[in-house]
Structure 1
Amino acid sequence: MPANQSYHFNVMRRAIELIDEGGSGMTLDRLAGEMGMSAAHFQRLFSGWVGVSPKRYQQYLTLGHAKSLLSARHTMLEAADGAGLSGTGRLHDLFLRWEAMSPGDFARKGAGLTVYWGWFDSPFGPALVMGTDKGICGIGFAAEAGEEATMTDLRSRWPQADFVQDEDRLRPWALEAFCAERTNPTPLYLIGAPFQIKVWEALLAIPSGHVTTYSEIAQAIGHPKAVRAVGTAVGRNPISLLIPCHRALRKSGGLGGYHWGLPVKRGILAWESARAEAG
């Protein structure tokens, strides 16, 4: 990505950390001072990145934001279920196309599969992107776990695969994945057990700026009593952000868990809500 884009992402990551730590007491002047900028310059930079002011973004970062989304019935799986979960083609506001590995291939734990990997900047910290010839098969965020743990985590999903570092091969897909306005299809290659893939397909039906619950996902895939199993499958989603497991919440409105850390989940939900409002 362009150098200035990377710079903006790095600045915003630090700003989000400060907002998260300081809460409502983190005024614009104080925040800008911590960043070594004037208030006017920082506000322009921040608003250009997320689409709303730092003060408005602070409201999205509060723990009550997830509950407000649910209380406003921003859930979408009922409508998606009625239309049928499609599988391929354009999915709501995302330009994605995907296919799934066969159960037999999955059982071989990646044997005979070449997985390319590379590190990229993202709005939510360093991101490890993995992909096959067919599309992205993994995205992990290292802001909380660290790069070594993130690499170990994703490699363990397909222990028999051959892993090859190749940023150039993955860069076009990574740029699309982390672009706020996607213009080209981003191919995904889902590597999981059949039940997991059904859950991930349901997640793909949730538009940006909306959320759902684990129980609604269970209903949508035809297993209403499998809420716990759904939660496990959501947590095992290997393609963060593009398969939006961050949009799955507890029925109470609690954030639940997030494989790459709750601060990252809160940041993504706030960023998406801000972008939806700005749009």
Structure 2
Amino acid sequence: METQATINYSRIAEAIDYIKENFRSQPRMDEIAEKIHLSPSHFKRLFTEWAGTSPKRFLQYTSVEHAKKILKDEQATLFDTAFETGLSSTSRLHDMFINIEGMTPAEYKNGGKNLAINYSFAESPFGSLIVAATEKGVCYMAFEDDEGKALDHLTAKFPNAVFRRKLDLLQQNALFIFQSDWSKLGEIKLHLKGTDFQLKVWESLLKIPMGKLSTYGNIAGQIGKPKASRAVGTAIGSNPVAFLIPCHRVIQSSGAFGGYIWGTTRKTAIIGWEGAKNYASF
């Protein structure tokens, strides 16, 4: 016998499939709701609970992902991309990219062209790392012992940017986080791009005090998506700035530390180090 949860899951799965198959026609929310035999308000509430985002937002994500594939074709124009994505104008494409990707379609197509990025390598209590910054703030920081691999990962993030190996003030201020003197922490600036959901998750991580821990469920609740723990975990796994955005402070509800982009051993060491620092400050 089917439970209500099973029925709800089947309905949302059907809605997701419908959006993926019909996004080029940019279906209205009431149209999708009708397909799965729900009222628009009930559909929106149920979809948000199960998918961690609204159906309108999911349609936008799907549309942007398709547009990104088209834009990678050097011959594709913005008009062609908008048309193939089912959008009525390039202005709608522009607004959607700004909202979802934090950049214009042209900037995405250029892959960071004309973006100047300074980078340097440093040592931390948890191994070697690379830190990089634009003129607006730190855009990337990652633990990596091999400098060649570290630079490869950075350039893959911004394939057409101009890179210069130079330690600037933005990077220096960021590296103060590993020191006992925390007076420079207020001067750290970040320059990030991500979906609205990712940015909300990363912002929530910044609110976890040093030496304290949170869970994926708690983060989901704080951003108003209590059933989106799995989506929160995915956003945390996409964190481009190690340590400064403290994804290491998020653990499983069971108390297990869980995974970490830069290694579970390192995560354990960081949590212990921060706990000792926090204890010593009392």
Equivalent AA in structure 2 for residue 121 of structure 1 = E
Matches within 5 A, 1:7-156: 103-105=101-103, 108=108, 109-143=111-145, 146-156=146-156
1:271 corresponds to which residue? 273
1:36 maps to what in 2?
none
Report the AA paired with residue 239 of structure 1: V
Q: Identity of paired residues, percent?
A: 42
Q: TM-score, normalised by structure 2?
A: 0.58
Partner of 2:208: 206
Please, which runs of 5 or more residues in structure 1 have no aligned partner? Answer: 1-100
In the alignment, the residues of structure 2 paired with residue 174 and residue 106 of structure 1 have an alpha-carbon distance, to the nearest angstrom, of 27
1:117·1:170 contact (CA, 8 Å) conserved in 2?
Answer: no
Q: Which residue type is aligned with residue 157 of structure 1?
A: K
Q: Give the Cα separation in 2 of the matches to 1:151 and 1:179.
A: 24
Give the counterpart letter for 1:105 in structure 2. Answer: M
Q: Which position in structure 2 is the counterpart of 1:246? A: 248
Alpha-carbon distance between aligned partners in 2 of 1:123 and 1:164, rounded to the nearest angstrom: 25
Name the amino acid aligned to 1:133: E
Query: How far is 1:157 from its partner?
Result: 2.5
Measured after TM superposition, the shift of residue 152 of structure 1 is 2.4
Distance, in Å, in 1 between the alignment partners of 2:238 and 2:218 is 18
Q: TM-score, normalized by length of structure 1?
A: 0.58
Larger C-alpha radius of gyration, 1 or 2?
2
- 1:90-143 CA distances to partner (integer Å, 9 max, x unpaired)? xxxxxxxxxxx9634176143432221110111111110011111111111114
Q: Which has the higher contact order (CA 8 A, sep 6+)?
A: 1
Q: Which amino acid aligns with 1:196?
A: Q
What per-residue deviation string (whole Å, max 9, x for no partner) do you get for residues 204-255 of structure 1?
Answer: 0000000001111111111122211110110111111111000011111111
Residue 169 of structure 1, CA deviation: 5.0
What residue in structure 1 maps to residue 28 of structure 2?
none
Structure 1 Cα separation of the partners of residues 104 and 158 of structure 2: 8
Distance 2:181 2:248 in 1: 19
Counterpart selection for 1:216 from 218, 243, 254: 218
Alignment RMSD, CA only?
2.0
Moved >6 Å (runs of 4+):
none
Count of residue correspondences? 177
8 Å CA contact 1:199–1:221 kept in 2: the answer is: yes
Higher percent of residues as helix: 2
